[in-house]
Structure 1
């Protein structure tokens, strides 16, 4: 096992690549993410597994990371050994979920690369939750990268899979592709004109969910909205990505239009808000 202190210190000094604002439409799209839920055939889902079974999954994960060249630049942490503050730090870095940080079961792990674009949660609700993040709107690029990683892991283990249902997962809403794709949007203009609620109601009716900056169970802060698919069964991965991109493009178009209108018609009010905010920040 790698040295925990060194890994965390390096992480404190690094900046995640997905935050560099260099991706497509990065003036509105902060990041894109795809997460795949996977389980090993014949072993109960993590919340129901015995300690010996959790240990088996953890050791299997270690073996894959150590032997496969795809993971040569990754770090591996055992969450059992972390303090509450250290676990929360990983949440803030978007490397693990709040659930994974707070859960007390043994043999919880996290694998992540130097760029912080790839992370794999070990023994969360599922045996493996593989996540990939990139800046801007890049779902198709992410799918190519995460699919390669998923295929590589599947060479080493047999996934729990049903010809009828697809990938079997701890949460019923993930059954099928096991995929959750999401886009993090910054929508200050729509928020200023109170146009957000109508958009959220509309997309919720067609199978999408909106969460806060840290995903499930978190509230919206700073006009940052995470839009993700809710349906994983009956659609291919490509269909999920294509549909999500179309929905987000419509929201992006509306945000761009409102920003343009506000700059044309309410420039002085905008400048006043900016200077007031700057004044408060400067004297804080």
Structure 2
């Protein structure tokens, strides 16, 4: 027989069916054999026994209830998924932080510390190289001065030339208008001792102050004094006494009066 469930109570797990014959039949949840749960309003197919419904099969679903159950199931699933995601985040987040921190440290070390250390090592190496070269040049100058004083002129000049022509020789005195390599002045003085004034003048750039209406050479005082002294001695050897006196006085005006007659 077919009929409809006119009432069903979950808490009592029992209900009432009105059959196609117009009669009402009680039933319990154990009498329902279908997979679909009994609900109020559902169509059913059933057998009767002692004015009770048995072998009940629910033919229609309560869509609203199904939707509610589905929503509840989805909510539970979503909640479980969220909890699972949170658990994973809790596990992964410290690792990610550690990776970021270590990565940052690595970038700093290899991008800043290591290059700076290399630059510092290079600067130190360059400084040590320059210091060794300076010591070598000083040693050559001492040796050349000693040979010139001993009148070993040929070997003295060779030593001076090595200093002057050295690729690492810096300017003895630098100014916008001239630059004389290290060793120039002592080499010029040695040429004066050798009685070769023209050689000496060529080394110091042949000052022409005496031709410029008394305008003095540009440069720091010590540079001017050296050039004037050598020029005065060279022109004296060339018997150009007026020019020699001019440069002797010019040297005196800049602090060295050793060549001015008392």
What range is the shorter-chain TM-score in?
Answer: under 0.3
Which has the larger helix fraction? Answer: 2
TM-score by length of 1: 0.19
Q: Highest CA radius of gyration, 1 or 2?
A: 2
Q: TM-score, normalised by structure 2?
A: 0.20
Q: Which has the higher contact order (CA 8 A, sep 6+)?
A: 1
